Amino acid sequence: MKNSIDLASAKVIGKGSERICYQHPDDHNLCIKVRYRIKRSRDESEREYDYVKRLKNPNLAPYALPLEWVETSEGKGLVFPLIRDDDGQLSQSLSKVEDKSQLAALFDEFAQSVLDNRLSVTDLRLQNLVLQKMAGQQRIIMIDGYGFTNDFLKNVFRITSLITHIQTKRRLIRFKQDFILAKHKSLL
C-alpha cells in the first residue's frame, strides 16, 4: 500500500471491542485507531469523526478529538492526540488510578464542561477516561465513547440538543454514583 503507515512494529496502546489503538510510529504524541472487528453496523471512528465535524467549539471539549484519516498497513485508521502527562508518560486510565481521593471533584469539573458545551457521551466507562497531570493540575479527558449512538439521535440533535443534553446528564450522574462514589466510599 503506497504512502500507508506501517503499524507492524507500532506499540499497541489499547484494544477495545472493535478497534485497536496504536502509538503513531512517526509521532509519539499521536495514536491511530484501526477497526479490527465488526460488531456494529457503524464504525466508531466514523461516528466520532462525524460528531467532531458538527461541534461548534471543539476546543472546549474535554475529549481527545480525532484529527485525520490515514491509510495504514492494518486498514483505514483515524489519528487522535495521545494524552500524556507533562512528564511525557501516558495519562492513566481512571481504572488504574491508585489515589482516587480527588476523582469526585475532577469528575464534577469534567461533567460540568460536558454539559456546559452540550456534548454527547455514549460509552462512559473508567477505561474511556484518563487523568491528565499538567503543570501541577489534573483533569479528566475522555479518549473514547463520545458522539451519537445512531443516526436518529444525530438527526434529532440538529433540531434540538435538549434530548442529548438530558441523556448525557443522566449518564454522567449514574456513572458518578456507580463508579466514582459507590466503589470509593472514602470520597463521600
Which cell numbers hold the place of 182?
Answer: 459507590
**In a domain? residue 3:** no
**In a domain? residue 6:** no
**In a domain? residue 50:** yes
| Residue type, position 164, single letter | T
CA 49 remoteness from chain centre: 12
- Return the percentage of the chain with pLDDT > 90, whole number: 57
Beta strands 19-23; 68-72: pairing state: unpaired
**In a domain? residue 1:** no
* pLDDT, mean of residues 39-50: 84
**In a domain? residue 163:** yes
Mean pLDDT of the chain: 87
**In a domain? residue 4:** no
What is the distance between the alpha carbons of residues 28 and 103, in angstroms, rounded to a whole number?
27
Q: Which residues contact 125 (CB under 8 A, 6 or more apart)?
A: 145
**In a domain? residue 167:** yes
Range of the domain at 19: 12-187
The whole-number pLDDT of residue 152 equals 60
> What are the tens digits of pLDDT across the range 74-111?
999 999 999 999 999 999 999 998 887 789 999 999 99
What is the distance between the alpha carbons of residues 49 and 27, in angstroms, rounded to a whole number?
20
The whole-number pLDDT of residue 182 equals 61
Q: What is the pTM of this model?
A: 0.85
Rg of the Cα trace of the chain?
17
Number of domains comprising the chain? 1
